[in-house]
Amino acid sequence: MIKRPPISQNIQRQLWAESFGFCMNPECNTLLITDTASVADIAHIQEHAKGGSIEFENLILLCKNCHKIIDSSRQNDTQIENKLLQWKEDRQKKLKEIFCKKYDSFALLKENIIPYLKENKNIFDLYGPESLKASLETHKSWVQFEPKIISNNEIILTILKANINLINNKLRDIIDLYERHQQDFINTREPEIFTRQALFPKEILTIFGLEIITEESNTNNLTYLQNLLKKLDKEQRLIDFSLFSPQHLIYTDESNKEEKVTLDNVIRFQQILYTEKIYYQKNIETQLRISDVVFILKILFQNKYYNWAFPEQYNFTKILVNDSIELLLMYEYEITVNDVMTLQAEENLIIINTHNWNGGPFSSEALEYLNGLNLNIRALNTNQFAKLCARKTLSN
């Protein structure tokens, strides 16, 4: 008897991706991986004894029961090969119909995709490459559950592609990276599986609130945040908000579930802005970034001499310090005379341009205009403001 050559790892992974983890008999709904073991068999479409290859096109993933039925039918059923090919085609169509469902909201998308993301995350955390280096036993477990990850990845990608309109445009590159990761995972041969190039993008977990990836600053325009808070407040969905120490937002989402996000979790914040349909209205709002306001608050916070508050609800461009000093925050390459002429100028106002380019933050004409008002208005950049705070001379 001629010894059968082994089926390569990457072809086995292709079969798991194709099956989504289900028996490929369209009339059978058996899941091929349980919590403890795989119940899958790889069957030939054209028998190996009759010259059938071990390439992907000639193989099909079945549960042990369906495999047994097929093997016992081969002698009497001359159409068995066509039947198996039809199974592959029909099962793929059926799986696409199930997992290509379009959802009306991000909340529903999240609810249906999170179980697969969570399961993969748990497997990776328990048996992934870091654990593999430490334990041979863990390696065996990883090999056992690798098909589950591949199958889940295919389900996740199918759901995401059908509902890509619910993902922020700025974040869709993450979905592309995830697809490249899946293809790289399938096609990589041992032992390079843990040194492949397209590693799992954890950012996809952040989109759905399963992982927190913080960034040093949130450079999203402040308008986004202000409009989001106004909308949530109007719809009575705003629970709590703090712009500094801690930076967090707590609200109820579209499905009335409580959500909490920190503002430095920028990817998650961007997805919330998209889901809540917050649009930037440049002509009536500020150019300030969220990070600019947070930085000014940090300066004030470090100097215990000052207390501060926002005098206007959901307007973070103005800060009242020690109940008497008003700060007006702006973000312009250079503040011109036309910019300051449209301001509500009040006595002892401090205008801070947070842009901080190497030149002057205010044009000479703007400074001349402000001086001519005789209202003791000071025009500062961020560094100048920080020095005044440190010297406790802000009120001078």
- Identify which has the larger pLDDT, 188 or 195: 188
What's the mean pLDDT in 187-197? 60
* Confidence grade of residue 67 (pLDDT, cut at 50, 70, 90): very high
pLDDT single digits (tens) 299-358 = 999 888 899 999 999 999 999 999 999 999 999 999 999 999 998 888 889 999 999 776
Lowest mean pLDDT among 11-20, 107-116, 119-128: 119-128
What's the mean pLDDT in 225-250? 94
CA distance 260 to 232: 13
Is the pLDDT at 35 greater than 80? The verdict is no
CA distance 175 to 109: 14
What's the mean pLDDT in 42-58? 91
Strands (E), the chain: 40-44, 59-63, 238-242, 248-252, 258-262, 308-309, 318-321, 325-330, 350-353, 378-381
Lowest mean pLDDT among 80-94, 103-117, 214-228: 214-228
* Confidence grade of residue 283 (pLDDT, cut at 50, 70, 90): very low
Lowest mean pLDDT among 2-6, 120-124, 244-248, 302-306: 2-6
Q: What is the mean pLDDT of the chain?
A: 90
CA distance 191 to 171: 32
Lowest mean pLDDT among 72-86, 187-201, 259-273, 274-288: 187-201
Tell me if the pTM is above 0.85: yes
What's the mean pLDDT in 79-93? 95
Structure tokens given for 383: 């560094």
Domain ranges of the chain: 9-99, 106-208, 222-276, 290-391
Report pLDDT for 108.
96
Report pLDDT for 22.
96
CA distance 5 to 194: 25
Is the pLDDT at 191 greater than 70? The verdict is no
What's the mean pLDDT in 9-28? 95
Report pLDDT for 4.
74
What type of residue is 183?
A: Q
What's the mean pLDDT in 183-198? 68
Question: Which of helix, strand or coil describes residue 80?
Answer: helix
Portion of the chain with pLDDT greater than 70, in percent: 91
User: With contact defined as beta carbons under 8 Å apart, do 244 and 289 qualify?
Assistant: no
Is the pLDDT at 186 greater than 60? The verdict is yes
What's the mean pLDDT in 23-36? 91
Lowest mean pLDDT among 47-61, 268-282, 337-351: 268-282
Report pLDDT for 182.
94
Report pLDDT for 1.
46
Q: 159-166, long-range: CB within 8 Å, 24+ apart, which pairs?
A: 159/99, 159/100, 159/101, 159/109, 159/112, 159/113, 159/116, 160/113, 161/100, 162/99, 162/100, 162/101, 162/102, 163/102, 163/103, 163/109, 166/103, 166/105, 166/106, 166/109, 166/275
Report pLDDT for 190.
58
What's the mean pLDDT in 197-209? 89
Report pLDDT for 57.
95
What type of residue is 138?
A: T
